[in-house]
Each structure stands twice: as C-alpha cells, then as structure tokens.
Structure 1
Amino acid sequence: MSAVNTLIYPVADLEAAKKVFTTLLGVSPHTDEPYYVGYNVDGQEIALDPNGHRKGLTGATPYWSVDDLEARIASLVEAGSTVTQKPTEVGGGRSVAVLADADGNMIGLMQG
C-alpha cells in the first residue's frame, strides 16, 4: 500500500509563500532553495515549488510513495487517469510524475 508523504504547493512568489507557510507551520524550512522550499511537520513533507504551475500543477498536490513508478502510472492510465507530468528525476535517486483523474484532480507519484 502506498501512502501520501509529500504535499506540494505550486507558488508564483516563493518569498511571499515562504513567509506564509513558515508562519502557518511554525517551523523554518529544512530546505530553502530557489527551486524548492521544504518543511517537515511531524513526518509530513510540505513543499513549495516555484515551477509547479509550469509543470501543470493547478493546486496543492499530494504525492503518493510507490515502489514501481512506471507500473503505477500504467495502472492509473488504464483506470482512466491522464499523465500531466511524465516521470522526472528530481535528484537523490527520486523520480516523480503527476496524473489527473477524470475530474482534473492532481495525483502525484514519487519513487525513491
């Protein structure tokens, strides 16, 4: 069984979003880079992605941890989802992909 371990918000103004989320979450980010700001709150990863809108994210997107990214993509496409972001290496041996269900809800997948 896979589990949601990361929630990524696409943001247009990273500095403004960082102020809001640092206040909201009550912790400083563990990663603070121009391409990604990440927080860990009780084991839950909350992240800000200034490139998220360009990647097709339309809002906060939950990322499910999976053992076999390609197989999970294939099964979700067969079930009626569409791929909105093809598998992409994001560093550290991790790959991500994003699909949309029939209503346009974003489904993030993460392996590694």
Structure 2
Amino acid sequence: MTAIRSVVIPVADLGAAKAVYTALYGDPHTDEAYYVGYSVDGFEVGLNPHGDAAEGPVVFTDVDDLDAVRTRLLAAGAVERSAPREVAPGVRVCTLSDPNGNAFGLRG
C-alpha cells in the first residue's frame, strides 16, 4: 500500500502553533514536547518543534516496506535527508528529497 496520510509541520514555538492548530482541528490526539498530532478525518497533521523550518512542511507517504521503497527511490535519484528511525513503536520514518531539493518523507 502506498498512500499520502500525513504532513509534519516544523514549528519554532510549539505552544503558539498548538494554540492555532487546536483552534482549527480541535484537541490533539498526541500532545508531547517532541510532537503534537491531530487527526483530520483520518489524515495526520503533526507539529514538530525539532523540524527544519527552512525545509517547510514534509508530506509523508505510508509504505508497506520502508527500506525497499527508500532503496528504490535512492537508486532513482532521490537524496537522503534523514535515515530511517523509529518514532513510535513499530513506526519508522525517513526524509528524502527529489533532484530539485523538495523534501518528502516515507512512513512504514
């Protein structure tokens, strides 16, 4: 399965951003110092206080086999920005960019 199911937004002031997104989407399902997440009709909108604001929001595509898809994309010319890492039990992510420098992520 391949599906776009989330976007993660880098924020410098998590509290201020949380106030705005809570007013828009309601209470977050995850409210931690390292991540605040909202479910918007099954689509994840996350706030990341450790993200790179210059990179902007990163759209994550859910994949069944993160390692295989990552390898295929790197062979096709994608550039790795962050190696696969576990962000929750059983959930790994990585960030790549296309040849034009546009960031995108994989979640598996």
TM-score (norm 2): 0.94
User: Following TM superposition, where does structure 1 have runs of at least 4 consecutive aligned residues deviating by more than 3 angstroms?
Assistant: none
Q: CA deviation at 1:57?
A: 6.9
Q: Distance in 1 between matches of 2:54 and 2:72?
A: 21
> What does 1:1-80 correspond to in 2, within 5 Å?
1-25=1-25, 27-53=26-52, 58-80=55-77
Q: Does 1:108 align with 2:105?
A: yes
Aligned with 1:16: secondary structure?
helix
Question: Structure 1 stretches of 5 or more lacking a match?
Answer: none
Aligned with 1:12: secondary structure?
coil
* RMSD over equivalenced CA pairs, Å: 1.4
Which residue of structure 1 lines up, in the alignment, with residue 91 of structure 2? 94
Question: Structure 2 stretches of 5 or more lacking a match?
Answer: none
Q: Distance in 1 between matches of 2:103 and 2:45?
A: 16
Identity across the alignment (%): 46
Q: Distance in 2 between matches of 1:21 and 1:104?
A: 27
Q: CA deviation at 1:84?
A: 0.1
Aligned with 2:81: secondary structure?
strand
Aligned with 2:69: secondary structure?
helix
Letter in 1 for 2:82: Q
TM-score (norm 1): 0.91
Q: CA deviation at 1:24?
A: 2.5
Q: How many residues align?
A: 108
Contact 1:98 1:109 in 2 (8 A): yes
Contact 1:57 1:106 in 2 (8 A): no
